[in-house]
Amino acid sequence: MIFDRILEDSLGFLRRMLWSKTGKPEACRPPFQSMRTFEGEQGVISLLEGRDTPRAVRTWMYCPKRRELNSAQMVAQSSSMDLHIYCDFLGPLPHARTPRADEERETIANQRQQGKNVPSHRIQIFKASHFLNGDGFYDYELIFWQDRDFYVQGVSDLNKIAQVAVDRLARHCLMLGEPLKLKADDWPEIIDNIWSEVRSEVMAKVAAAS
């Protein structure tokens, strides 16, 4: 299923990314490139590109600052974690022109005409260790995932809206103090509030342009 494949792609990306950081000759090249970085009082967020799934829309990583540790202490502190935020679009791939893909597009269009919410994107939030653990591996954990509908009437490119929402979510992490301590139940309200703001802004722009 599409949902299972998205999770599998995300975990595969995380494994390759962490393995590339070992520096071993057999390690693969990093599967992403840092395109933009923003610094906050407690941490830094980086916009990443190169996640090798055709459904990737946005990839962010939040790293807490570790200025109080020297290099030896940093290596020894295996519990130190980073936060990864992934956004992938759902539905058929844009280049897919199979009968099944066309049927799915038609179904989605009909549901939207009826005023129904149709999940357009999946947001996933992972914790991943910044350093090797005592066994010589990296730890990672899926903290939260949610399918959301980023549809706004009058806007055809839903990926752009999703990017704005996820970008704002990543920036919000800089203001949370310690986002790594948030539980799964804490994230829905944060995302709901951000989406409410973004949706209102997009609707206002659409109304102004009409």
Residue 9's pLDDT is 54
Q: Which residue has better confidence, 121 or 178?
A: 121
Domain boundaries, the chain: 2-209
b/e 31-50 (16+ beta carbons within 10 angstroms → b):
bbeeeeebebeebbbbbbee
Across all residues in the chain, what is the average pLDDT?
A: 82
Residue 52's pLDDT is 73
Q: Alpha-carbon distance 50 to 33, whole Å?
A: 6
Q: Render pLDDT for 63-118 as a digit per residue (tens, 0 to 9).
A: 998 665 554 454 444 348 899 999 999 988 888 889 999 999 999 999 999 989 99
Residue 49 token pair: 């590109």
User: Does residue 25 carry a pLDDT above 90?
Assistant: no
Is residue 27 helix, strand or coil?
coil
Residue 94's pLDDT is 81
Q: Render pLDDT for 109-151 as a digit per residue (tens, 0 to 9).
A: 999 999 899 999 999 999 988 776 666 666 788 999 999 999 9
> With contact defined as beta carbons under 8 Å apart, do 94 and 119 qualify?
no
Q: Angle formed by the axes of helices 187-209 and 158-173, to 10°?
A: 130
Q: Is the pTM of this model over 0.85?
A: no
User: Does residue 152 carry a pLDDT above 70?
Assistant: yes
Lowest mean pLDDT among 40-54, 57-71, 161-175: 57-71
Is residue 86 helix, strand or coil?
strand
User: Does residue 57 carry a pLDDT above 70?
Assistant: yes
Q: Alpha-carbon distance 122 to 156, whole Å?
A: 18
Residue 3's pLDDT is 46
Helix, strand, coil percent values for the chain (each to nearest 5) = 40, 25, 35
